[in-house]
Structure 1
Amino acid sequence: MNRRQAKIKQVAENRQAGFVVVLEDIHDPHNAAAILRTCDAFGIQDVWFIFDKEKAYNPKRVGKSSSSSTNKWLTFRIFKSVAECKAALKKFKYESIGTVLHSQAKDFTKAKLTAKRIALWVGNEHAGLSESAIAACDRLLKLPMRGFVESLNVSVMAAICIYEISRQRQKQQKWFHLNAKSAQKLERDFGNR
């Protein structure tokens, strides 16, 4: 086994099971690229894009230099509506967690984030999650802000949330990583990319 094959095997075995990041109408492809890099770093394989109001772009082509081409290694799905994405998540019994600056949102740092399947919803840089996305989420969470600013850059916020969900889920070792069969399938797929 050469170094490339060994790295592919290691990465496939360390991918998380049951964690999808949903990006709704992210306007700036550079923000999307930064989020993709974070997803790869934390072992998230699946990133789903919703392009409803924003002009669609190809996630495989964004940020090729800034994201170290991590988009080559991730799996994308593209939806034209929140309803279409929510239906796909519901089919596989994902708990949808929306990140919002909303009066009904609970403190992210106090939330239990250990579900077997979690979809983290991240909204547009300017408007946040749409009302339909908020309605589609099972829970709404917000990062507590203790300074003068009311929010963070979308990629920074996503990174903090991805880290915390990953940290909590890793304690549940029985379902954190892909099972052996899924990891082997992903390893073969990586070998063909």
Structure 2
Amino acid sequence: MAQQEWLYGLHSIAAVLENEPERILDIMVAKGRDDERMNDVVKLARRQGIAVQFVQRKTLDDKSNGEQHQGILARAKPARVLDESDLDKILAQQDTPFLLVLDGVTDPHNLGACLRNADAAGVHAVIVPKDNSASITPVVRKVAVGAAETVPLIQITNLARTLKQLQQAGIWVVGTAGEAEQLIYDCKLIGPMALVMGAEGKGMRRLTRETCDELVKLPMAGMVSSLNVGVATGICLFEIVRQRR
């Protein structure tokens, strides 16, 4: 595992400073960036005893590999990877678990968007397979605008096995698939629940689809056959939120 990583973006760095300040080693800010949002982050870092260095913007451009850094970079220790044992602890703390499962979502921008949606919807954890899936990266953190620090991302070895264990724990597993016969709006989506979203284009893998208790779909009225997975995830999560309220 890498001994350090670069974080960028105001929201993601502020979230780490607030939730895991011990991870931040130091911070670089672009010279000339002098506004309230940046100043708040700099003050927060200094209160935590973290060194802040002001550098030329090109230095940030070079270290961020072309990503939009918003004038700030942080050198940080890698976050701990959460696994099955962490999922067990989360489930033990919830009377009505609400989980999001992503099967084969490999684009970090899509994972970041899904984490942001999960945070807004009150999801207790996002579950992804260790293989064939995006993991937490600086890109994911930036797109998630702080949600990567508040929503646990659980990496598991065998997705089908984990789904079966969730079912044994009384959690209803609902998968989304274009070939499903029923619309999500016609299903009862209350109680302990795990929503499974597949990758764009391919959808869920066969074994994942067969393990689900129920398959649902979104109505598609136009020529486009599917939505971006981040958009579709937001719509599905908030239909569950609506019903649970």
TM-score range, shorter chain: 0.7 to 0.9
Normalization by structure 2: what TM-score?
Answer: 0.58
Residues 34-69 of structure 1 show CA distances to partners (whole Å, capped at 9, x for unaligned) of 0100110111121101244x2x44336552222112
The match for 1:45 is: 124
Normalization by structure 1: what TM-score?
Answer: 0.73
CA positional deviation for 1:118: 0.6
Residues 1:16 and 1:35: Cα distance change in structure 2 (over 3 Å) = farther
CA positional deviation for 1:166: 0.6
Paired residue secondary structure (2:141): coil
- Say yes or no: does 1:149 pair with 2:149: no
Q: Sequence identity, in percent?
A: 31
The match for 1:32 is: 111
- Say yes or no: does 1:109 pair with 2:185: yes
Structure 1 unaligned regions, length at least 5 = 1-7, 9-14, 171-193
Given that 1:100 and 1:128 are in contact with CA atoms closer than 8 Å, whether structure 2 keeps it comes out as: yes
The 1-side partners of 2:163 and 2:232 are apart by 22
Matches within 5 A, 1:1-193: 17-52=96-131, 54=132, 56-59=133-136, 61-102=138-179, 104-114=180-190, 116-170=191-245
CA positional deviation for 1:169: 0.7
Residue type of the alignment partner of 2:226: S
Larger strand fraction of residues: 2
Residue type of the alignment partner of 1:107: L
Residues 1:92 and 1:61: Cα distance change in structure 2 (over 3 Å) = farther
Q: Which has the larger radius of gyration?
A: 2
The match for 2:48 is: none
Q: Any runs of at least 4 consecutive aligned residues in structure 1 with deviations exceeding 4 A, and if so which?
A: none
Given that 2:178 and 2:217 are in contact with CA atoms closer than 8 Å, whether structure 1 keeps it comes out as: yes
The 1-side partners of 2:239 and 2:134 are apart by 28
Bigger relative contact order (CA 8 A; separation at least 6): 1
CA positional deviation for 1:28: 0.4
Given that 2:189 and 2:240 are in contact with CA atoms closer than 8 Å, whether structure 1 keeps it comes out as: yes
Q: Number of matched residues? A: 154
Given that 1:99 and 1:140 are in contact with CA atoms closer than 8 Å, whether structure 2 keeps it comes out as: yes
